[in-house]
Structure 1
Amino acid sequence: MIHYNVWFTLKPGVGEAEALGLVRAFIEELSAQGNLSRGIVLKNTGEPPKSRLLPYQAVFEFRDDDQMTAAFAGKRKEGIHAGPHGILIESVAEFRVEVFREV
């Protein structure tokens, strides 16, 4: 499994429920296309200085490189500013991405 992790903050004035709903909609979109094994949205319970991580995390789990490649190819074809992903981009102030593989 490949775990694509996105930690992010929201822009001031952006509602948490609305923004996290967009993340869930994007996860559902990828899942419906067969381009995602599992996706979850998490909220960090630690605040600075206890935690250096951003407050929200979306985890996208892909079974292999082919599935992850298909997801990214589909998003490039559609356009990163289209659909729930595009609306979400406008809501995010900061993000960090890390990719992990199960060992």
Structure 2
Amino acid sequence: MALATLDTGINVQHLSESLGQEVTVDGSRSWKPANGTGNFGQFPVAHGTMCAFDARITDPKATLLDLPILQPMALQGLLSDAVAAFAHLRTVLQEMPEERRALVVSNS
């Protein structure tokens, strides 16, 4: 199952160390705003990492999608970025084989 986190970005190194298991992000299905900087799975440890941690507790084998739409320190972002992120996720969902189509979206 794919699990998308729309937040401040995910830090997989921190998640892997905290959960005691390898955690990866599917960069090919992740998305960031045009002005976004940083690499998927390598964002500072912040709220998005916490959200991904909580989600991985419920499904340790979930494939993480990283959608860093918020700035880590201010938790500010643009509504247009969130709308574009959801549009991207709709495309991701439509491209999945129908018999295995599953996507959980966390927008805490």
- Where on the TM-score scale, by shorter chain, does this alignment land: which range? 0.3 to 0.5
Report the TM-score when normalising by structure 2. Answer: 0.36
Report the TM-score when normalising by structure 1. Answer: 0.37
Return the structure number with greater strand share. 1
